[in-house]
Amino acid sequence: MDDSCVLGPLDPKERRHKAYQIRKQAAKEEKSRKILPQPCNHDERKYPNKIGNFSKGLPHNGLGEVDQHAYGAYLKALKSGKPSKFEEIPLGGTLKFVNPQGAYVYDLAGPDGHSLTIPAPPSINSAAAASDMVELYWQSLLRDVSFNSYDRDPLAAAAAGSLSNLKDFYGPKINGQVTPQTLFRGVTQGDLVGPYISQFLYKDIPFGATAIIQKYKVPLAGQHFLTDYQSWLNIQNGAAPSASIIYDPEPRFLRNGRDLSEWVHKDFSYQGVLMACLYLLSLGSSALDPANPYFHSRTQTGFVTFGSPYILDLVARAANFSMESAWYQKFLVHRRLRPEEFGGLVQQKLTNNANYPINEQLVNSPAVDLTFNKYGTYLLPQAYPEGCPAHPSYPAGHAVIAGAGVTMLKAFFNEDFVLPNPVTVSKDGLSLEPFNGAPLTIGGELNKLANNLAIARAFAGIHYRSDCFDGMNLGEAAAIGLLRNYRHTFNEPFCGFKLTKFDGTTIIVK
């Protein structure tokens, strides 16, 4: 006797078969996609002493060059994928690599982490790599200058002039020139409109029955780390930092590169895009994408699908999912050296201890001279006592997560919606003030958020612009792939996810 209470168009057997078919079809679609090339800059092969590759945490000689036996064991472990081989890597101190085995993980939804690609990063001898580094030296020199003061700050003007003269500098320009208005910003639509900081890092964030006021614990001005050679070398060998950050007793809204770099020092993985999602959900249904099947429904609202739990879930899911592709690129394709390691090459080159193949526009940069005059070395000053984390530079993890999360938000919200009551920050960071300039849209401010979260790590001295830009694009591709799989799971009539990519093109994910 059938005592089932189940209603629905399918009986359990039919439902199980359809669920299987949906998963099978998604897997077949991913399998049928073209295998993409994975280009690299070949620095690991060009330079036998591995000066173009990440080696922090392994033992190094007095020049900061990695021990060849240790680097060989590191490569052997990566090539084998065997957990036991990672335990055999000789370390130089107490620092441990961050999850290299994450590069091998599989997932049950979205494109496989090894199927997405990014361009090869610049080689250490290239003009593009020099441009990356020159910008980082200027960012370190301007960490304590308020973003709102760039238009009248002489050092910011000098930085803009210097960057304008660089070959292969890919930052934003106006009439072919870097200006204080474009300085250290992204190249996406909306990024040059309004304050440097996105509204999503200023607005109060609804959090259940309370709200998060976005004043943060920030470091006191003038703190720069790893500027003396021995401290730098100790950190490259994996020693614990000998200094610590001294914090301002007064919480502040984000106002400069130091504040922003500390925000991405302490955040959890997808904190920035989660906060943006919570704020956008508080704006009500009018901020949703009109393609949402419940946007015009007379009798229903979204919840499990197309509602706040679903959107929050996909934003979080995209974050770690996108990192699978990032970790593959970091460890198994590029192994790009970090900026602090590149700063060691500059130090040895300009003190005539080694003749490293560094492009002349870096060694002749006024930013490098100003750094030496201030600290007595040519090392790149770091915002964090420990310097960078123990995984390779390219692509930037924060950029990948930001790219994925922002892409998810664009898929569910109306990018043309104008954000109400925009604000900017006071010079001291103690208050917010009305912003009375051009309208700020969801799409533009989401692009700006992604760039803020990515470039903040460059302000810290631990990532290059190219890490950030290509990382955002990788995160975007991962999120689009995830949306492509989920597109086929709905009962509701739905024409697909419409969104604007970082390159300005509009797509519909079907």
Look up residue 74 and give its two tokens.
């590191």
**Is the CB of residue 341 less than 8 Å from the CB of residue 56?**
yes
Gyration radius of the chain's alpha carbons: 24
Distance, in Å, from the CA atom of 506 to the CA atom of 500, rounded to the nearest integer, reads 4
Token digits for 385?
A: 């006592």
d(CA 29, CA 19): 16
| Cβ-based neighbours of 241, under 8 Å, separated by 6 or more | 225, 235, 385, 386, 387
- The Cα 378–Cα 363 span in angstroms is 9
State the residue for tokens 């998060």: 212
- What are φ and ψ of residue 349, in 5° steps? -65, -50
Active-site position among 224, 391, 463, 488: 391
- State the distance between the two ends of the chain, measured CA to CA, in whole angstroms: 43
Q: How far apart are CA 35 and CA 140, in angstroms?
A: 40
Provide the H-helix boundaries in 413-504. 442-459, 465-486
Q: Which one-letter amino acid corresponds to residue 398?
A: H
What's the rounded Cα separation, in Å, for the pair 139 and 459? Answer: 6
Phi–psi pair at 233, nearest 5 degrees: -65, -40
Query: In one letter, which amino acid is 452?
Result: N
- Catalytic residue status for 391: yes
DSSP 393-437: -SS-HHHHHHHHHHHHHHHHB-TTPBPSS-EEE-TTSS-EEE--S
Tokens of 250: 């007064």
CA 249/CA 261 separation, integer angstroms:
18
Q: Which of 60, 224, 398, 463 is catalytic?
A: 398
The CA-based diameter of the chain, rounded to the nearest angstrom, is 90
Q: Distance between CA 236 and CA 65 in Å, rounded? A: 9
Question: How far, in Å, CA of 343 to CA of 363, rounded?
Answer: 11
CB distance 241 to 235 below 8 Å: yes
128 vs 158: CA distance, rounded Å: 20
Given a contact cutoff of 8 angstroms between Cβ atoms, the answer to whether 167 and 131 are in contact is yes
| Interior/surface letters 282-316, b for 16+ CB within 10 angstroms, e for the rest | eeeeebbbebbbbeeeeeeebeebbbbeebeebbb
Catalytic residue set: 391, 398
